[in-house]
Structure 1
Amino acid sequence: MQLFRTLSALAVLTLTIIHPSVVLAQTQGKIIDHKLPNDLNGSNFTYPFPLKLYQFTSQRQQVEMAFMDVAPSGKPNHKTAMLFHGNFFCGATWNETIRVLTHIGYRVIVPDHIGYCKSTKPERYQFSLSQLAFNARSLLDTLGIGNVTIIGHSFGGMLTFRYGLMFPESIDAMIVINAIGLEDYVGKGVPWITIDTNYATSLASTFESVQAYENTTYYVGQWEDRYDVWVQMVIDVFYGSQRDTFCWNQAQITDVVLTQPIAHDFGHVRPPVLLIIGEKDTTAIGKTWAPADVVAKLGNFTALAHDVSAQIPNCTLVTFPELGHAPHIPNPDMFQAVLVEWLTTGKTISVGKT
């Protein structure tokens, strides 16, 4: 285990020397901004802002990453924010956060990652946190954007940490919201299962099963009708024109979370971090198949929040005691107040009971 951690640390140090210009040199992508089909890569959901496509070569195949590129609606501050969605979400879920950020002057870039929503769902692709982070940096380079603020939720939060380890010199700040991967699931005893097994689970997903899962972990049993749209958004992809490859990609990404832990690398994160945690979150990858004694040790976000924030050299922690895995959705006003205060002043506001 000590050897593994030593090698992991060396890998992190190696990744941090990658310069963004290297990404541009290796991808040669292009931006498509004319009218796109309603059913784009298996998703027919209508996004809140116009979509563009970033077409590029990755792993010897042509892929395309759908993204929104939203200009400031208020006085421009000449800064850019990039938002990373979570696993059961798409870029569209960030609609309210996009409006707030553009109002205070940010240009906002919101991609759907490869394998998700309106982006390519490749039949053969080696998914990794590093590859997805590399894709995002490649998009920014193609758009001619240098430094950014990265905001990531859930799986997007885990990806934000990997991006921060790979491209620290290009990051103004990181905001991480209830990231998965704050603990090493396999390291804590979750048995590894095959991608084929995860694929079968993905194929069995229904509106009711996704809603039930999100009700428990995202919204702590306080479901509101306004959340239905986000369930329907992802179910449309589960049962859309690219159902099979989407379910396979979902299985591959679950394997990424299990086999590519970031929990041993927080001490290497250099950019300033705002860590936002809904304390009633119980999300833990593998708890549906792990032994009971292992499950009992997983998903304690109150403890994880303080443990992880203590490891990150420049970290500010804000917790929402009464919220779950997606605090920016049930209480957007409080979330946005915290976000804007930290981005504009570097300070935080008191949250307390919500």
Structure 2
Amino acid sequence: MKKDVDLSCIRIGTEDDLADAMALASCLLDKTSPDLDFVTRQFSSDLLVAVLLTTAYGTRDKTLAEVLFFLVDPTWDDGRQILCFFSHETQAFQQKHAALWRNGLSRKMARVTDDDAAQAMVKRCYLQWKNAFAMGGGVDVIAKPPFSIAVFDQQAVAKALEMVSGLKDDKKSGVDRVLQNAQVNEGYRVVLDARQASARLEEAKARFENLVEPISRLQIDLVLAAAMAPEDFHITPILLLGDPGIGKTYLATQLGEALGVATEKISAGGAQGGFQFTGSHVSWSGARPGSIVTLLAEGRSASPVVVIDEVDKIGASAQYPVLPVLLDLLEPNTAKRFKDQFFDMEFDASRMIFILTANSLDGVPAALLSRVEVGGCQASCRLK
């Protein structure tokens, strides 16, 4: 099997789609894990067929990397949610044979009622599939999915996990989940497909008439990014300027939805120093990881949207300044080695998309203005 395998061998939209998916699953799994018992092997095969069909009919990359990522996507709550998914999925099982097969699969999956057992079975499938895809010649694809860059260094994550394990319960509660998510897909995150993103933004112009100018600016950057390698992907931060009440913040958050990525909103005027971005050291009372590391760890994208509200109200605190942290984030060279203080861990935040808002240029630091494109937000579409 050649590298960069896509799923074009599955004839979607025909009655042959199920047979094609079964044949591909059999080809991938036949030579792996001979020690597996029949029940476990059949479970893995059935689950792979279901994921192959779902991916073949989906809108994401139709590759084995995407198939493997399906099992470790951070948006799943647990293994049980994955198994229950196929009972409700319809797009991939519209053909008669596939629909009947899916009904039988759903009954099998429903028998796995223990959450820990479901998680263990999904994990075992992941390891088997990863080995199978590597044997089939797709090892490079699995290590580095298409249009992706390494956001988290796995040695750094392992070191941070070791540190967290030694913390008191009140400080480590929930934070280990962030690091576990950072390990997903070996720390790689997918960069926006610039051409698809630009097309989605073109459609968004009709919905957000008062954002036509900044959307057009964003599209120009995306056109340039389409000609670049994923590691060179960069979008110039945009500052939305306009009177209070016209919906700048709301519309900025909707850009994330239009691009199909997660969005995080941070109030620069209300931020407690730079800690909201960087997290705070574990020695501090109430210390927590920052919002940037959490956003990148919990999503599949290297390019989520971060909306930084009211940058014209950035506090002037000399003790916990926001501006130096923000400037580091907006500068690609320093963002590549952005550091979360809680985990004492560097990671790559340079492909994130930053949308800033301000009522006027008064109060916006000159150093900040030098790093952004200023876009007007028309008042004609004032939100009610």
TM-score in terms of structure 2 length: 0.26
- Quick check: which one's helix share is greater? 2
- Quick check: which one's strand share is greater? 1
